[in-house]
């Protein structure tokens, strides 16, 4: 009698906590997810059901206090699927999505943006920080416009 347990791995890589950000590329079969609690970004191929890329972000290298340092807030993906914006507690980072990883392209000094979104055509992206909406050119990263909402409210998805 063979007591060997057989299993087939359906998906590789999962978040260790709840998913707090999700975006889909229009031109590629990619879904980006992030988790604020485990401070990871994962890129999924929704045709194959595989996690193709996972990246972990921590401020502190000491594993004993690492759970207290959760810098990642949310993400947004360019409609082309080749650019990813990630909001952290101290900045926004724009990354190129490559075959084997994420390459940092630009850092923008905006703190605690709880919502980032690209326009439908991908020409602009918007960052919301408390009651201020900042509009950027998605290719030159120049700040184009700042909108201050008079009623104090927090934007979120």
Share of the chain above pLDDT 90, in %: 54
Q: How confident is the model at residue 55 (pLDDT cuts 50, 70, 90)?
A: confident
Average pLDDT over residues 21-33: 93
CA 138 to chain centre: 15
Query: Position of tokens 């999962």?
Result: 14
Q: Considering only CA atoms, which of 40, 41, 44, 38 is closest in space to residue 17?
A: 38
Q: Considering only CA atoms, which of 67, 64, 9 is closest in space to residue 38?
A: 67
Q: How confident is the model at residue 25 (pLDDT cuts 50, 70, 90)?
A: very high
DSSP bridge pairs for 45? 30, 50
Q: Is 2.130.10.10 the CATH number for 21-148?
A: yes
pTM, 2 dp: 0.79
pLDDT tens per residue, range 63-110:
555 555 668 899 999 999 999 999 998 899 999 999 888 999 999 999
């Amino acid at each position: 009698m063979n007591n060997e347990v057989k299993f087939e791995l359906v998906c590789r890589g999962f978040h260790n906590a709840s998913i707090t950000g999700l975006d889909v590329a229009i031109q590629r079969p990619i879904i980006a997810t992030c988790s604020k609690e485990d401070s990871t970004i994962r890129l999924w191929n929704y045709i194959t059901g595989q996690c193709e890329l996972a990246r972990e972000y921590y401020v502190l290298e000491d594993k004993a206090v690492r759970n207290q340092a959760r810098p990642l807030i949310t993400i947004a993906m360019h409609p082309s699927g080749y650019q990813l914006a990630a909001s952290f507690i101290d900045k926004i980072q724009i990354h190129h999505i490559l075959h084997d990883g994420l390459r940092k392209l630009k850092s923008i000094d905006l703190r605690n943006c709880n919502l980032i979104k690209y326009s439908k055509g991908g020409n602009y992206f918007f960052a919301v920080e408390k009651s201020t909406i900042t509009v950027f050119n998605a290719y030159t990263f120049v700040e184009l416009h700042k909108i201050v909402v008079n009623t104090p409210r927090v934007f979120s998805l």
